[in-house]
Amino acid sequence: MTVPTPLIAGNWKMHGTAATIDEARKVAAQVKGTSPRVAICPPATLIHQLSEALKGSAVLVGAQDCHCESAGAYTGDVSAEMLADAGAKLVILGHSERRAGYGETDALVAKKTAGALRAGLEPIVCVGETIDQRKAGEALAVVTGQVRGSLPPEVAGQAFSVAYEPVWAIGSGLTPAVAEIEEVHAAIRAILRELFGAASDSAPILYGGSVKPSNAAEILHAAEVGGALVGGASLKADDFLGIINAL
Ligand code: PGA
């Protein structure tokens, strides 16, 4: 079985201006080698500047969303091709903040994922249950349903990752028990196998939601955890490095 190369991706969300690039430079100065792969996903306004600043380093630049079409009359939107042109190599799609705040459905996330692949971007597709769904015992059903609905057939044979982000763990300081993370990750791996065959074994399954230096080692060493999607703790170089170095 292929073991995925771990990916630690920072999601800056709507934080960061030109001055914040210094934090990314500090990260890049410490990241050597090819495992784990490290990515920073700043707001779209910083993608070009950040990719120029990190040129020659091992840190990749990613985006946080894209439109599914390559161009058109979509005021305010940015296409995957535009993000790639600006220097992005990856893109986060279907984050719960977009699902909840902008009504993004699995079907739309699947279209965006196909768009990202068309443009040569590596998608990080996010899934995760709400606290009510977990309390109702529906976590596995919700997450596996999202994986089925959000990954288009185009993913077969391509580089991509899935990020399991329980909605209630994002920005809350709460995390599931390691056994709960492992249960969900195993279920995601089984669906990927079913949908895309053994080739998908190289796709890492990231955990996201309140990852910080103090809990990173435990989470990152759990079964089928192939890295992390990190929000708040990716904004400060020392915290992000603490997570990267926990692997
Ligand atoms: P958090 O966010 O690390 O701040 O909880 C994770 C995410 O939303 O990707």
Q: What's the rounded mean pLDDT across residues 62-81? A: 98
Q: What's the rounded mean pLDDT across residues 40-58? A: 98
Which amino acid is present at 154? E
Residue 191 to residue 180: CA distance in whole angstroms: 17
Which pLDDT does position 87 carry in this prediction? 98
Residue 2: band (very low, low, confident or very high) from pLDDT cuts 50, 70, 90: confident
**11 CB within 6 A, ligand 1:** yes
* Cis preceding linkage at 36, omega within 30: yes
Residue 1: band (very low, low, confident or very high) from pLDDT cuts 50, 70, 90: low
User: What is the average pLDDT value for the chain, to the nearest integer?
Assistant: 97
CATH topology of domain 7-244: TIM Barrel (3.20.20)
Which amino acid is present at 112? K
If we measure between CA atoms, which residue out of 112, 198, 122 comes closest to residue 158?
122
Q: Which residues are annotated as catalytic?
A: 95, 165
State pTM to two decimals: 0.98
If we measure between CA atoms, which residue out of 201, 199, 134 comes closest to residue 165?
134
Nearest residue by C-alpha to atom 6 in ligand 1 = 231
Q: Is the pLDDT of residue 202 over 80?
A: yes
Which of the listed residues 210, 236, 243 should we mutate to test ligand 1's pocket, taking the one with most ligand atoms within 8 A of CB? 210
DSSP letters for 119-137: TT-EEEEEE---HHHHHTT
| 106 sits in which H/E element | helix 106-118
Domain residue limits, the chain: 7-244
Nearest residue by C-alpha to atom 2 in ligand 1 = 231
Residue 33: band (very low, low, confident or very high) from pLDDT cuts 50, 70, 90: confident
Residue 80 to residue 68: CA distance in whole angstroms: 7
pLDDT digits (tens, 9 = 90+) for 95-147: 999 999 999 999 999 999 999 999 999 999 999 999 999 999 999 999 999 99
Residue 234 to residue 68: CA distance in whole angstroms: 27
First to last CA, the chain: 20
- Alpha carbon of 218 to ligand 1 centroid (Å): 17
DSSP letters for 138-191: -HHHHHHHHHHHHS-GGGTTS--EEEE--GGGTTTS----HHHHHHHHHHHHHH
CB 164 within 8 A of CB 205: yes
Residue 114 to residue 121: CA distance in whole angstroms: 10
**96 CB within 6 A, ligand 1:** no
CB 114 within 8 A of CB 158: no
